[in-house]
Amino acid sequence: QVQLHQWGAGLLKPSETLSLTCAVYGGSFSDYYWSWIRQPPGKGLEWIGEIDHFGSTNYNPSLKSRVTMSVDTSKNQLSLKLSSLTAADTAVYYCARVDSDGYNRPYFDYWGPGTLVTVSS
Amino acid sequence: QSVLTQPPSASGTPGQRVTISCSGSSSNIGSNYVYWYQLLPGTAPKLLISRNNQRPSGVPDRFSGSKSVTSASLAISGLRSEDEADYYCAAWDDSLSRPVFGGGTKLTVL
């Protein structure tokens, strides 16, 4: 059974950098891409980006200038950094495993429980 | 503003059948599979429906999905109190080259 556990600082100030880590247990880490997705309070889900075990990334263009994703394959972990935070970055952040349909389009079959990150002075 | 459009709320009584709609365009739902996710507070989101109408292992057959042109629907029959959750539709968008989501529908079991 695949399980994702995630952690990171929950309260940050404007202009600071968000740092979250997600550990994957069960299943293959190297056979999949891994994504970060967020949900601002009262709003819908937003895809942040994805990374594979080589460190190859794809980012949402709206966040690309501030996002850095990385992996530690020795620990089956992925990490997210989001810089220059503002209140608009307040959200629950999820990590998720990316599977693909027959046309190489991604979807998310396993998710972490989410981490609430609040940006406030 | 979400790319896919869902009603913000839905409700039903135990045992009833409810449907949640998801409207998109030719660049997303019209040309790609639709997925549905269930979000319960404090728990990991769950994939409910894959590839328009496929239920992953462990998902009860009370949940079903359908798609027609640029819209999709999630139906829940035999409604139970534990179905009270937020439901999101999702699809790949060919124009944006990224996955997109609906704004979510909060289902209340009365």
Residue B76 and residue A112: Cα distance in Å, rounded? Answer: 24
pLDDT for residue B99? 96
The predicted-structure confidence for A66-119, as pLDDT tens digits, reads as follows: 999 999 999 999 999 999 999 999 999 999 999 988 777 889 999 999 999 999
Residue in A closest to B102 by C-alpha: A44
Flag if B103 and A43 touch (Cβ within 8 Å). Answer: yes
Q: What integer best gives the mean pLDDT of chain A?
A: 95
Q: What distance separates the 2 farthest-apart alpha carbons in chain A? A: 46
DSSP strand E in chain A: where?
A: 3-8, 11-12, 18-25, 33-39, 46-51, 57-59, 67-72, 77-82, 91-100, 106-111, 115-119
pLDDT at res. A86: 98
- Residue B104 near chain A (CB below 8 Å): yes
Instruction: Name which of A60, A101, A110 is nearest B33 (Cβ-Cβ).
Output: A101
* A96 contact residues in B (CB cutoff 8 A): 45
How far out from the chain centre does Cα A37 lie? Answer: 5
A1 vs B58: CA distance, rounded Å: 12
pLDDT per position as a tens digit, B12-59? 999 999 999 999 999 999 999 999 999 998 899 999 999 999 999 999
Chosen for mutation from A4, A37, A45, A57 (greatest number of chain B CBs closer than 10 Å) is: A45
Could you tell me the pLDDT band of residue A18, with boundaries at 50, 70 and 90? very high
Please state, rounded to an integer, the average pLDDT across all residues of chain B.
96
Distance separating alpha carbons of residues A37 and A94, to the nearest angstrom? 5
pLDDT at A110: 97
pLDDT band at A36 (very low <50, low <70, confident <90, very high): very high
Q: How many CB atoms lie within 10 A of CB B58?
A: 7
Residue that has been written with the tokens 């190489």 in this structure: A104
- The 10s digit of each residue's pLDDT in A39-76 is 999 999 999 999 999 999 999 999 999 999 999 999 99
CB B101, CB B4: distance < 8 Å: yes
Alpha-carbon gap: B77 to the closest alpha carbon of chain A (Å): 23
